[in-house]
Structure formats: C-alpha cells, structure tokens
Amino acid sequence: ISMFVGIATVAVSLTFGGLIGATAAYYGGRVDNVLMRLMDVLMAIPSTLLAITIISALGSSMFNMIVAMGVSQIARMARIVRSAVMSVKGQEYIDARIIMRHILPNAMGPVLVQVTQTVARSVITVASLSFVGLGVSEPTPEWGSMLSFAKTQMRYYPYLSLFPGFAVVMSVMSLTLAGDGLRDAMDPRLRN
C-alpha cells in the first residue's frame, strides 16, 4: 500500500506540477511570475502539515491521502519542471513547434530524479500518517499501521516492529539509489 500510495502521489503531483512548471517556463513573464508566487505560497507550508490538514478536512481514506500528499508535492514538482524546461528552452535548436519533441525529453533527467525522491518521501509520509492514525484504515496492511500496532507489543514481540521498519528503510533506500543512478545515467556530460 505504501508504494502504491507513493507512486499515485507522484502521479498527481507530477501531472499538475509538471503542467504548472512547463506553462510557467514556456510562457515566462507575468504568467511565470503569478504561477511561481502561488507555488511559493504552497511551498511555505510544510508538506506533512498540509497533508494532515487536507486529510483532516476530507476524512481519513486512501484516496484522500493520495490527494492530500499529491497536493503537498505539486509546488516541488512545478519548480523542478520549470527549471528543467527553462534550461532546455534557451538552447538554440528550440522552436515553439517542437516543445513536446525536444524540450520535454531533454528536461526529463532532473524530473525523473525528483520523481524517485518524491516516491521515497511519500512512502515515509504514508507510514508516518498511518502510524498516527490518519493514513490507511485498519484492515488494510500498511507499514506505518503495522509499526503502530507493534509499539504496544514491543516488549514481548520485538520482531513485529522489525520487519515493517526494515521494509520502509529498504524501500526508501532503494528508491534513493535508483534516483542517483538515473541522475548519473541521464547526465549528458557523462555520455561519450
């Protein structure tokens, strides 16, 4: 469930944040200014606090958690996509007709790295929200809710907390390493 929610969160944030960031970078000027100031306001609120607020307002369910966490990551994705598109947009081979053919494929390196980092961050946030009772509801197995249950059983059954905690650590570490590998693989300066 944590990985599914993490990937769904990235899908929501990348869809809306990517659209906002690409629009801001492509049109520039006043459009860029207005959109980025809105993203600054969104980034001023800590993402976990924003997610908790949205979940509290909408109710505790997996769909609401995905929406809340996706909204909390939109500003980060918009910033990354905007900077990637702006760096490619200024190159001489770019024409308005070829934004989808050349700008976005060349700007995908930093975006993919951000995607893997956001999935890892989302896995931790899902586990945290479920640990405090705001995440996935009880019959559905989730690492954070397993850890919450295990804390009451820690004295007699310490292994109950070991396995879900290890799963969270290993999934976050593997996603981070995958992001580092993608960054190195997509860096044009490292290609021969």
User: Would you call 102 exposed, middle or buried from its count of C-beta atoms within 10 A (0-12, 13-18, 19+)?
Assistant: middle
Q: Hey, how many other C-beta atoms are within 10 angstroms of the C-beta on 9? A: 27
User: Do 116 and 101 touch, CB atoms closer than 8 A?
Assistant: no
- When the pLDDT of each residue in the chain is averaged and rounded to a whole number, the result is 84
List CB contacts of 15: < 8 A, sequence separation 6 or more.
none
89: Cα separation from own chain's centroid: 24
pLDDT digits (tens, 9 = 90+) for 99-117: 666 666 667 777 788 888 8
What pLDDT, on a 0 to 100 scale, did the predictor assign at position 180?
Answer: 83
> What DSSP line would sit under the chain, residue for residue?
-HHHHHHHHHHHHHHHHHHHHHHHHHH-HHHHHHHHHHHHHHHHS-HHHHHHHHHHHH-SSHHHHHHHHHHHHHHHHHHHHHHHHHHHHTSTT--GGGIIIIIHHHTHHHHHHHHHHHHHHHHHHHHHHHHTTSSS-TTS--HHHHHHHHHHSTTT-THHHHHHHHHHHHHHHHHHHHHHHHHHHH-GGG--
Report the alpha-carbon distance of residue 40 to residue 44 in Å, rounded.
Answer: 6
Question: Is the pLDDT reported for residue 48 higher than 70?
Answer: yes
Q: At residue 134, does pLDDT exceed 70?
A: yes
State how far the Cα of 154 lies from the Cα of 143, in Å rounded to an integer: 15
Work out the pLDDT band at 19, boundaries 50, 70, 90.
very high
pLDDT digit string (tens) for 51-101?
889 988 988 888 988 999 999 999 999 999 898 888 777 665 555 556 666
pLDDT of res. 191: 59
Q: What is the pTM of this model?
A: 0.70
pLDDT the model gives residue 136 = 76
